[in-house]
Amino acid sequence: MANLILKDLNVFSETLYEKMKQINPGISDLELYEFRYCLTDLLPEKGWDSVKFDSRIEIERRVNSREFYDGIQIKPRLGERVVLDNPIILLAQMLFVGLVTGEYPPEWIDRHFYFDIRGFYFLHRTEYFTAGVLAHLGGRPYKNFEQKQKGFERLQAVGYKDFMRANAEVDELFMKSVNKIIAFRGTPILLAIAGPTAAGKTEIVERLRIAFKQAGQNVTSIELDNFLTDRDEREAKGIHSEGRQAIHFELFKRSLEDITHGKKVSIPYYNSVNGISSHNLDGSLKPDGVPIEIVPADIIFMEGNFPFLEKDVLHLIGLKVVYLTDDPIRIKRKWKRDIDYRKKYDPSYFRNRFFKDQFIMAQIAYLPQMETCDMTVDTTGAALWTTPEIAAILRKGK
């Protein structure tokens, strides 16, 4: 029976269409023929019955190993076009066939993967709330609200207005909490916000900035990117954009020390277009380099992927926040923002890169920072998490 289904393209796609509605209810918004259009790109050359299965244990092992993601190519080409990378295609094909034949139970698929409709592929769910993180954040959220992002389940792309509305409650509590902590800890204060791409960092920082200004406080920001060393140097050494080796670390540390003491600082300028820093590797200003002057302020923002990854600067940061949105929502935000509006990437390159980066970035950046942060805002879970110490400050303020 199963074999017959695999041999007939139409029967296979119709069966899969029905089963996929359970995995992602947004599939119900597609007509069968639309579903088939999407599926055509993933048809195995030798038919669905040629797809080989791996055991569930084997699949779980693979999608939880760094090597698997390191091996994903972001710009594989077929002719002139960038295409989806083969291991991603094989995984999707395997899950499709396993779902149709019953080899993989839908609950198992759902536990480990989510299906992005716009990209029409399965992605591994990244785990952010690990045992280590939960232990650091007291095991349960400080407060949680109704999870309104559930309303995006059927959407193929999410714009900022919808996103902001869904996060209203947790964002408001977060902003209030930041104010309480600043009142408690005093200014000047360095406020660092880390978070994955499209989690909503920039927007929440912008709202905080406006709120602080309205309250009469001076605000400035330090962009971590400006501390990057020349791109050529980093590439020659195989360092990317993370870690202290990638930045003028001594300068960075000194700048943070000075600005938190109310002193004016002069920081490097990194030109992201040509990849050149205003400073030499030894931290001296290049003859033609022009640094950036930052005047002291009450609140100094530091936003980025790794603002408090380096243990040596942790003591300088007054409040360490991770602003988190779960991967399935972030990819929908990126479809809208980076593909539809900014038209920044080739869609297949984007699919490969998103698939590849989330696991790696969680390992190298977000999990370590969640384990040292003061607070984590989980917009998808609509929950504010804090360390017991911060929770005590917040309760005192009530």
At 300, give phi and psi (nearest 5°): -115, 120
Among 24, 144, 147, 156, binds other proteins (CB under 8 A): 156
* Residues 6+ away with beta carbon under 8 Å from 346: 82
Tell me if 304 contacts other proteins by CB under 8 A. Answer: yes
C-alpha separations of 225 from 48, 275, 298, 305 in Å: 47, 11, 22, 10
Interface segment toward other proteins; rule CB under 8 A; list 108-116, 132-140, 179-187, 302-310: 302-310
Q: Does 292 bind other proteins (CB under 8 A)?
A: no
The two beta strands, 143-144 and 189-194, are unpaired
Task: Please identify, using beta-carbon distances, which residue of 120 and 355 lies nearer to other proteins.
Answer: 120
Spell out, one character per residue from 359 to 398, where the chain touches other proteins: x when CB under 8 A holds, - when not: ----------------------------------------
Of the candidate residues 22, 25, 40, 262, the single one contacting other proteins (CB under 8 A): 40
| CB nearer to other proteins: pick between 206 and 232 | 206
Count of residues in contact with other proteins, rule CB under 8 A: 36
Do the Cβ atoms of 371 and 133 come closer than 8 Å? Answer: yes
Residue 156 or residue 217: which is nearer to other proteins going by CB?
156
Q: Does 118 bind other proteins (CB under 8 A)?
A: yes
Relative to beta strand 375-378, strand 270-271 is unpaired
Q: Is 341 in the site for other proteins (CB under 8 A)?
A: yes
Phi and psi at residue 39, to the nearest 5°:
-70, -30
Pick the closer one to other proteins by CB: 160 or 184: 160
* Helix (H/G/I), strand (E/B), else coil: 185: helix
Which is nearest to 21 in space by CA: 4, 8, 11, 35?
35
Does position 34 bind other proteins by CB under 8 A? yes
Out of 103, 169, 225, 357, name the contact with other proteins by CB under 8 A. Answer: 225
- Residues, the chain: 398
Q: Work out whether 38 is an interface residue with other proteins (CB under 8 A).
A: yes
Q: How far is the CB of 340 from other proteins (least distance, A)?
A: 6
Report which secondary-structure segment, H or E, holds 261. Answer: none
The burial class, CB within 10 Å (0-12 / 13-18 / 19+), for 190 is buried
Q: Which of 1, 3, 33, 131 binds other proteins (CB under 8 A)?
A: 33
Distance, in Å, from the CA atom of 334 to the CA atom of 336, rounded to the nearest integer, reads 5
Question: Does residue 206 interact with other proteins by CB under 8 A?
Answer: yes
Judged by CB under 8 A, the stretch of 12-20, 36-44, 274-282, 367-375 that binds other proteins is 36-44
Whether 230 and 278 have beta carbons less than 8 Å apart is answered as no
Tokens 């964002």: give the residue.
Answer: 171
By beta-carbon proximity to other proteins, the closer residue of 138 and 347 is 347
Nearer to other proteins, 202 or 284 (CB): 202
Q: How far is Cα 182 from Cα 306, in angstroms, rounded to an integer?
A: 22
CB of 342 to other proteins, least distance (A): 5
Q: How far is the CB of 358 from other proteins (least distance, A)?
A: 17
89 near other proteins, rule: CB under 8 A: no
Residue 256 identity: L
The DSSP output letter for 138 is: T
Torsion angle of C-alpha atoms 168, 360, 245, 376, degrees rounded to 10: 30
Q: Does 195 bind other proteins (CB under 8 A)?
A: no
Pick 112 or 334: Cβ nearer other proteins: 334
Q: Is 185 among the residues that bind other proteins (CB under 8 A)? A: no
- Backbone phi, psi, residue 345, to 5°: -125, 160
Q: Which residue has the tokens 């000075």?
A: 258
> Out of 50, 55, 65, 202, which residue is the one contacting other proteins (CB under 8 A)?
202
Rounded least distance, CB 241 to other proteins, Å: 9
Question: Interior CA angle at 81 toward 79 and 84, to 5°?
Answer: 110
Q: Between 193 and 316, name the residue whose CB sits nearer to other proteins.
A: 193
Binding of other proteins at residue 284 (CB under 8 A)?
no
Q: At what angle do helices 86-101 and 347-361 cross, to 10 degrees?
A: 80
Residues that bind other proteins (CB under 8 A): 29-31, 33-34, 37-38, 40-41, 81, 118, 120, 156, 159-161, 164, 202-203, 205-206, 225, 272, 303-305, 336-337, 339-343, 346-348
